[in-house]
Structure 1
């Protein structure tokens, strides 16, 4: 059996609410994010229940009427629990229950209270309960400075609160409600500063605290006249610009207390010399192991993921003259070319492009040519350069991301040199025409597992989608001879006598951001390769039920939120585990959502990438998102994620 003191030390980190969160005055509450209930720790055993109860009630955060009513019932049944409450954060009015809570918690030392009170909120309990406590610190949260709320409940609460602030004999610290005055030049800021300074002048407050700030407001001078004021406390570290502003104001400099932003320091570690002077690192390791280790060492050494905008981050860190300098070096020492395995693209200029292409002529063992971070920063090359890249490094490239402008190729054989690709992200390639009598290669991009075909210029041309849909592309003159027929239909006619399936034997992930054009080809491509796919990302579906042709698909990513309702297959899909969508369909109905989910018996996660979840009880009550999310959870306990 552990002593209670040890159990308390063990449980405190899990049950503690940090001071930074408790005192936060941001417009959006830091407690609006989902976190597991800490009360679960009390259910482990009786010892934990006994020790953890005071810790649990030490800091109480109330965000809804349901929470408030529950706490009221607990305190009625166990009034001794109220004695444990030292810090109380109230993010609403919450009706008469607040009177019971405040009456039961005479030991409150820190109170955080919001002025976000609407006409539908009841603040009577707060008005009756606030005079019953005598805190040492009060923090006011007011997110409605630019558009102030006006209603009788808010007016009553402000009057009671201000009266209490004047009468609380223990009050010494005041958390200022308007910490980051982005619009501090507006009149209401000065009005509120005047109002609060006049209020605090009638108290014994000696410290006024500010949260995160981006500037020193001009109206801060209104606080200097508070007789008891000793400190203006800036809780977040200040950058040098704000420090200079403070130091230039003699009165503010006398009162201000702050920390400076820590400047990063680069400390070189002391490395002890080897005890064996003949030691050779990785002497007996395989070549593959050596390359893997040195790759990571070099990446960290040259800060590959810094915010620099060089075209070749790796190479330019080694040779400071850019791609041109690398080219000159390789011309002098061509034996270095095969050592270049990874090239990261970032920006493009005409001069860079020419130098880069010269570099590529030396990279006979290149494995990676793609952006370092932003996938849209592809290297733009001509079709001639693309063909040359295939000849030089097609056998070694494993990942390739390029945009081919003027990217016309006359035969799928031009893709054949890329025999080792696992990831291909390509934009712009189109097919100028294929001779129907040509015997097509059967192993085009045979090793590609991850394929992304981006938006293309489709005017009077046919694209890779047609190629991998096994649609023969006929010449433009022949296409134009089929008067009145859409190009897609003309291409379908060309299937006669040309039925070889092209490559993609290893395909598992397919990304097609735009499928506005050549819908027939897209549907044929999905029919032909769908059984291989585990991940599929698609633009607008155009009414195609892709899941009927992808029985092994485990993850589906939609780029159009309205496609979520159109996605359902004709029969149940047992492989799908995750669906990702930008948001919920417009006018989505919970019953329709449940009917849709019934088609995916093994679905475990729905991700809404751009969903702005309501953060207050009032927003939740008005939101159409919440009932749908509840239907997800009730239906199968699905996990839903999203971001603002």
Structure 2
């Protein structure tokens, strides 16, 4: 089919996949936009001869070089076929990459844009760039530099000298993009020299502040036509018509302008529905429709308008998520102000998923008390009280729970403290419908109060997710009375349990919990001396049914937890060299010699990072060495993920990363190593010895 299409159409089809966007090519962020792994776009050239013919110019139009291996590969391709060099229009070089750069620049006869980095480490060489720069004559130069760490090694100094020598040779140069707003001492001779291009028309700054000292040096450039301010997000005014900053120099002030938006282009609305005036002002929609039918139609319209178009925020930042939810509440309220009909039909959707802040919690309780029917509409209740006690807050929970019989989800964001009385009221009212109770803190009991029987848990027959924190210490009495009878058939639907203290573990150990599959216990033995025995007792009772387990330690009470959970597929724990996290081999040293865990497929590892990078690398080296020695005990293991590490993004950092070395070693065993973003490591192209 491709052979029957004109080359122009094939080019339009392949362009989105092969062309490098301008905002990525000219990006001056500390982390390169090309640092993340992606499937090579060159795969399109292997489809057929027609695609190879059309895609080759598109592939070479913008070349990004990030490693010596990539530079060597491009050098070899141009040496075998120098004609490919005429396709190169833009070149982004994120390093020095030794002598191979000379051949690349020599073949790039039509190069117009060049991106150079001054972050070249002493282990690299800029010899190829130095000898190749005089061979080109670009129209735009983009410089990258770390404004907080200006390298001054031999390779950087030689490259700056070579750039100064090119000022008189690059007669086509008309655009200069700089990463500075001041004249840094080590870079001042270079910046002053670059202002000497004979045809320089545009100077662009990466960021803009109230004062830019470099502006005073631009008045001496006679050919200058514009000074662009490439403002960071948040610095540029939201209004597009806002004028750019001014300068005391009249000529400089007239040249200042905002640069075009270099961010990711946003999708534009294709059309806009015109609002035409009503031909009949007395017209009322659905006026001739029976009332119950009209109510159903309007209710369905309000459902989509108030709920479906305003989904709850999935942001991991609490402040951002809470702001989004509160804004959604405000937008939903506007619909109720349209008419009495909208108020009556939209009220259930307004109270269906409310987000309540601490200041409005007593008022919300008063509202439910005065209009009890409103509480029947509440399905999800998101409460954020804050750490400071607010007057009337403690009494508000029971008042709210008494009027929410259909509550399905209760989220306390980790700071809501419920008393035993609140828990009883919640169980009596919504125990049969509540499916999730997360982020709830149970207040410490008052000594001498009435019995606090764990029988209250039997009322939560639909609860699937339970995440709570016990606000007590080892010196305080447990939340549930030891004399109370534990209901063994309680929480029959519980699937996911999260605890941060061992206070209630004896209660859960005596329950059957037939649906329990996932457990997370953020409990440190150093903080709770009795935790070791309580955790092992709990896992002896329920470990066989678990599929996921996350704990602070892989070993408690000299027992490897993996031996108590033979069917789990995911296990997470902390490992390291500190006193209370000394186990690095997942407790293999505590296992019988014949024991093998045949179900474990995923490991989640975490540790408290050391302030010294040398000690941190040494610790992970020891951890990975012990893990590799223990892998024969885990034949099904296919994935190891860190909860705190992120893959390096530069060739210099990659070559020294302990994690990269471990990842490539584990790949030989068909085990993937992933970082905290869940990105797995893919081996990069390497330079082979000849």
Query: Shorter-normalised TM-score: what interval?
Result: 0.7 to 0.9
The runs of 5 or more residues in structure 2 that have no matched partner are 279-284, 314-319, 334-349, 472-477, 608-616, 679-690
1:209: which partner in 2? 204
What are the residue-to-residue correspondences of 1:462-477 with 2, within 5 Å? 463-470=503-510
**Partners of 2:228 and 2:437 in 1: CA distance:** 54
Question: Residue 523 of structure 1: which of 516, 536, 544 is its match?
Answer: 536
SS, match of residue 209 in structure 1:
strand
1:415: which partner in 2? 457
Bigger Cα displacement from structure 2, 393-402 vs 540-549:
540-549
Question: Residue 162 of structure 1: which of 158, 161, 164 is its match?
Answer: 164
**Partners of 2:238 and 2:327 in 1: CA distance:** 31
Q: 1:503 to 1:590 in 2, by over 3 A?
A: closer
Question: Residue 575 of structure 1: which of 599, 613, 625 is its match?
Answer: 599
- Superposition deviation, residue 631 in structure 1: 1.3
**Partners of 1:269 and 1:336 in 2: CA distance:** 38
**Partners of 2:244 and 2:533 in 1: CA distance:** 65
1:87: which partner in 2? 90
**Partners of 1:443 and 1:148 in 2: CA distance:** 66
Question: Residue 240 of structure 1: which of 237, 240, 243 is its match?
Answer: 237
1:455: which partner in 2? 501
SS, match of residue 150 in structure 1:
coil
- Superposition deviation, residue 539 in structure 1: 1.5
1:386: which partner in 2? 423
- Superposition deviation, residue 112 in structure 1: 0.4
What are the residue-to-residue correspondences of 1:30-429 with 2, within 5 Å? 30-143=33-146, 145-178=147-180, 189=184, 192=187, 195-213=190-208, 216-235=211-230, 239-240=236-237, 246-247=245-246, 251-258=251-258, 277-278=289-290, 298-299=306-307, 304-305=312-313, 308=322, 322-348=360-386, 349-351=389-391, 352-371=393-412, 375-376=413-414, 378-401=415-438, 402-407=440-445, 410-428=452-470
- Superposition deviation, residue 597 in structure 1: 3.8
Question: Residue 523 of structure 2: which of 510, 514, 518 is its match?
Answer: 514
SS, match of residue 93 in structure 1:
coil
**Partners of 2:549 and 2:305 in 1: CA distance:** 34
Q: 1:589 to 1:101 in 2, by over 3 A?
A: farther
The runs of 5 or more residues in structure 1 that have no matched partner are 457-462, 471-501
Paired residues of 1:310 and 1:346 also in contact (CA < 8 A): no
2:683: which partner in 1? none
Q: 1:102 to 1:198 in 2, by over 3 A?
A: closer
**Partners of 1:564 and 1:215 in 2: CA distance:** 52
TM-score of the superposition, structure 2-length normalised? 0.76
2:613: which partner in 1? none
Q: Deviations over 1:303-347 (max 9, x none)?
A: 754655699888886599923333333333223222222210122
SS, match of residue 350 in structure 1:
coil
**Partners of 1:283 and 1:639 in 2: CA distance:** 56
Q: 1:294 to 1:367 in 2, by over 3 A?
A: farther
**Partners of 2:394 and 2:90 in 1: CA distance:** 62
Q: 1:388 to 1:556 in 2, by over 3 A?
A: same
SS, match of residue 586 in structure 1:
helix
Paired residues of 1:115 and 1:154 also in contact (CA < 8 A): yes
- Superposition deviation, residue 133 in structure 1: 0.6
**Partners of 2:379 and 2:541 in 1: CA distance:** 34
- Superposition deviation, residue 84 in structure 1: 1.0
Q: 1:255 to 1:38 in 2, by over 3 A?
A: same
Q: 1:522 to 1:639 in 2, by over 3 A?
A: same
Paired residues of 1:121 and 1:153 also in contact (CA < 8 A): yes
Paired residues of 1:399 and 1:422 also in contact (CA < 8 A): yes
- Superposition deviation, residue 239 in structure 1: 2.5
Paired residues of 1:314 and 1:343 also in contact (CA < 8 A): no
**Partners of 1:355 and 1:245 in 2: CA distance:** 52
2:14: which partner in 1? 11
Q: 1:442 to 1:589 in 2, by over 3 A?
A: closer
- Superposition deviation, residue 268 in structure 1: 10
Q: Deviations over 1:347-397 (max 9, x none)?
A: 2442333334322221122211114xxx43x42122222222222222221
Q: 1:579 to 1:280 in 2, by over 3 A?
A: farther
Alignment size in residue pairs:
588
Alignment root-mean-square deviation, CA: 3.7
Question: Residue 644 of structure 2: which of 588, 606, 610 is its match?
Answer: 610
- Superposition deviation, residue 519 in structure 1: 0.5
Q: 1:81 to 1:514 in 2, by over 3 A?
A: same
- Superposition deviation, residue 451 in structure 1: 0.9
**Partners of 2:496 and 2:275 in 1: CA distance:** 43
Whether 1:642 and 2:688 are equivalent positions in the alignment is: no
- Superposition deviation, residue 600 in structure 1: 3.4
Paired residues of 1:449 and 1:507 also in contact (CA < 8 A): yes
Bigger Cα displacement from structure 2, 67-76 vs 355-364:
355-364
1:503: which partner in 2? 512
Q: Deviations over 1:464-506 (max 9, x none)?
A: 1122233xxxxxxxxxxxxxxxxxxxxxxxxxxxxxxx13111
Whether 1:446 and 2:470 are equivalent positions in the alignment is: no
Question: Residue 587 of structure 1: which of 609, 616, 621 is its match?
Answer: 621
- Superposition deviation, residue 536 in structure 1: 1.6
1:556: which partner in 2? 571
**Partners of 1:389 and 1:363 in 2: CA distance:** 9
- Superposition deviation, residue 152 in structure 1: 2.5
